[in-house]
Structure 1
């Protein structure tokens, strides 16, 4: 029996033993190796039974029209904003992602960004490296994190993990979600992001990117947060109105930001590059060796389960 054929539109950072096992079970085609993609799809498109993707690869009507026999899309990510879930459902295509295994690392990143932007750690580091300490004296005062009011936009797995870590700093936790979470009675719930921002010193975006959450943090929300408020985004760039965020920072209508994601990655608004109260990262929230290997393993296990006639481990919710 022929091995199931997979189309990789994203690379998996797998450990060698896992890669050997994975390669032995499937026939693999790599989109980036196809110099003539049109010819490739005409010749091989009907053979493809599974797609491997991540946060960068689009799985949309344009692609799926060329792959009429796809049964499963396995994404090396939690967010699925690049996958047309409705179309996959219509075609009976199973979609899987990699929840849980990246929760800790992404929550750590949120806390790192929060501390870095509020305490201006990158700027202080540059101050020392540039030799300014002996000549210009002590570094300026910054803002402490402990005891602040933290508002989390999206209290899913990652949002809850961030909130738990912020509790360790003695922070009061509030959140916005589609509905009140009975598992967190000690957190304050707001049905409006504006109201959440009014009652927060720090606003952390941890929601999935959907039509409803696009620009959910807008000018009104930023103004409600106010000139002493900080924003952290480890969700997706478009959940914040980036133009309004830049304006708010330039005009000092908010105090600072820690950003792991952007609207037009890898492009970053140039106004942010010289701001000491802004910490920037190149979308590396889950980018540790341990987590990326665990994610890759889960991508592979979902595919192996499906083509072995077993239920997938982590179907998209």
Structure 2
């Protein structure tokens, strides 16, 4: 990195964004500009703008007041359920249109490199055809979240600007278990479910591995052009995940072992009931789907540029 490096981080008050900021503030030559939805934050070391990523005037102000910005880390998005009753139009507006506008601003303001934090959920419908999904697999997104994240990916690829797209596997940390608990539990970890007869495997992503990759990109951004899956080197079983969550939460929970056919029967029954009944319930239909199939993503491509994502459950 040069003498002073300016980094704009959208979604800077979210879990991943705040972790990245804490990591980058260790470097005295890094100046961070953040955009978030919170009215204010308790961090005097970053220049913070409170507002909506969809606000074009806000983006113009941020780029003009802080020129030249060297890097953009784009994390702001609607994920599956962080806006109640979100429709496709909401996802389209925030995840695609706002992202496209941000990328275009970055290009017009001569930003050196854009890092877009996407998701392995773009592979949703591709899992039926492949046991291990790499970046060359045809993408077939089905959910509103995945569709709009993929549209944003394509808009960035078409801009002729140096970029890195990171497709993140489900992210976890000791203080952030939500993404991984969906693979093994119901009712907020009150019931742990292990499917018998099948040894399902899952790719997950330790937050420390995200931090490692972002620092490597800043050291040598020219080596990281394109799309990369990010996941721990280790692949996990349901038992691995259950044991990890229990070791952290240390609270009473019911353990059940269920045959795959029983899970499928439950899904069939639920699908016959109006989906709206379960829309905002802690008993999520989608969580059951996450349990009943392998979700493995190749990290060969990121390994080929010299990055090994060695942090895993027992290290975190």
Q: TM-score, normalising length from structure 2?
A: 0.39
Would you tell me which structure has more strand in proportion to its own residues?
2
Q: TM-score, normalising length from structure 1?
A: 0.39
